[in-house]
Amino acid sequence: MTDAPISYAGPERVLSGVQCSGALHLGNYLGALVKFARLQHEKQTFIFVADLHAITVWQEPEKLASQTREIVAAYLAAGLDPMKAAIFAQSSVREHAELAWIFNCVARLGWLDRMTQFKEKSGQHKERSSVGLYTYPVLQAADILVYKATHVPVGEDQKQHLELTRDIAAKFNNDFKAPGFFPLPEPLTQGPGARVMSLRDGSAKMSKSDPSDNSRINLLDDADAIASKIRKAKTDPEPLSETLEDLKTRPEADNLVGIYAALSGLSKEQVLAEFGGKGFGTFKPALADLAVSVMGPIGDRMRGFLDDPGEIDAVLAKGAADARNVAAPVLDETKKLVGFWRA
Ligand code: TRP
């Protein structure tokens, strides 16, 4: 056998997930959900609710299942189709956790010590964080590789976890003399809504953990809330830039133009061609109308699904079965490679 890496020759698969640890917002919709719905038409697609990841920080047990259903309602409202994509809860496919254990023994402490998200989330008292928060990226690698996924739509902030996934895949393939067994998955970070920023601070990502509700448009906000948050969005006193170059130094204006572009399907240049030189007194109402017309129906569809939890549960049951059909044989092969008795 040669030492040259043999590249992965299996089918192309897309996998991604969202944590059920708070209400979803416009940033999740444009940056993730819309992309998932598009990709399901292009490749075999697996989209899950990351409930195992959610409990790396405390979650109220009586809320966990309803938060999971809410994410599924958002997936369905954004156009994910259970006949096209496997839509499931991470905790209902036990292969994720089992592969994560094996990967805990492949990944090195030094690799995890470099993870910036752990440093941010654990804050000043890392000794009080759960061990799960530390090994979070190892579970993420298992989520991806248990389906041999090749493409992972994620935000920029997840790129480091994708690099770790590749390192784990490469080390596993090498250690167990199985060249090309796991693919080295690619992050898909591009897209018009790739980075939606806070409405109160153009330098911070729109986030469910921001204490100010006015910083984000939640998917379940009604038309009045959407319009009022856009009216109150932070801006500067200048009229809108005429060029993209000029926009670069104005993060809040840039963000609103980016949101308009993503919601309308136009490029930022096209948005500036229409609104450049005009004041926010003109631009904000136009953006509010657009946001209400696109996001209002998404919220309505979500509420419709949430009124029928039985249907959501049926989607999750089908998705878990579809996912296990792919994950179980991959885990079996992995266990054979490791050398477990009767694997
Ligand atoms: N860590 C991801 C986030 O916070 C969520 C996630 C968990 C994920 N497992 C994944 C994303 C696997 C992509 C692939 O956004």
- How many A from CA of 146 to the centre of ligand 1? 14
Residue 53: CB within 6 Å of ligand 1?
yes
Residue 259: CB within 6 Å of ligand 1?
no
45-54, 184-193, 235-244, 309-318: the lowest-pLDDT one: 184-193
Residue 146: CB within 6 Å of ligand 1?
no
Average pLDDT score, the chain: 95
pLDDT in tens, 220-240: 999 999 999 999 999 999 999
Residue 17: CB within 6 Å of ligand 1?
yes
107-116, 184-193, 330-339: the lowest-pLDDT one: 184-193
208 in catalytic set = yes
Query: Distance (Å, rounded) from C-alpha 71 to C-alpha 29?
Result: 11
User: If we measure between CA atoms, which residue out of 236, 326, 240 comes closest to residue 44?
Assistant: 326
Name residues whose C-beta falls within 8 Å of residue 199's C-beta, 6 or more positions apart in sequence: 206, 214, 215, 216, 217, 229, 230, 232, 233, 234, 255
Sequence length of the chain is 343
Catalytic residue among 43, 84, 171, 208: 208
Is 232 strand, coil or helix? helix
Specify the amino acid at residue 194.
A
Domains of the chain plus CATH, in order, are 13-194+308-338 (3.40.50.620), 213-304 (1.10.240.10)
Given a contact cutoff of 8 angstroms between Cβ atoms, the answer to whether 80 and 36 are in contact is yes
Catalytic residue among 84, 171, 205, 284: 205
318 in catalytic set = no
Neighbours of 36 (CB within 10 A): 23
pLDDT band at 2; cut points 50, 70, 90: very low
- How many A from CA of 48 to the centre of ligand 1? 9
Is 216 strand, coil or helix? coil
Residue 140: CB within 6 Å of ligand 1?
yes
Is 15 strand, coil or helix? strand
Relative to the CA of 32, which ligand 1 atom is closest?
Answer: 15
pTM of the model: 0.94
61 CB-contact burial (10 Å; exposed 0-12 / middle 13-18 / buried 19+) = exposed
Is 332 strand, coil or helix? helix
Residue 218: CB within 6 Å of ligand 1?
no
Residue 131 pLDDT greater than 50, yes or no: yes
Given a contact cutoff of 8 angstroms between Cβ atoms, the answer to whether 258 and 195 are in contact is yes
In Å, how far are 93, 102, 179, 184, 192 from 98, measured between CA atoms? 10, 7, 22, 20, 36
Given a contact cutoff of 8 angstroms between Cβ atoms, the answer to whether 199 and 234 are in contact is yes
Helix ranges (H only) for 178-220 are: none
Cα diameter, the chain: 71
Q: What percent of the chain has pLDDT over 90?
A: 90
159 in catalytic set = no
State the average pLDDT over residues 9-35: 94
pLDDT at 299: 97
pLDDT in tens, 44-81: 999 999 999 999 999 999 999 999 999 999 999 999 99
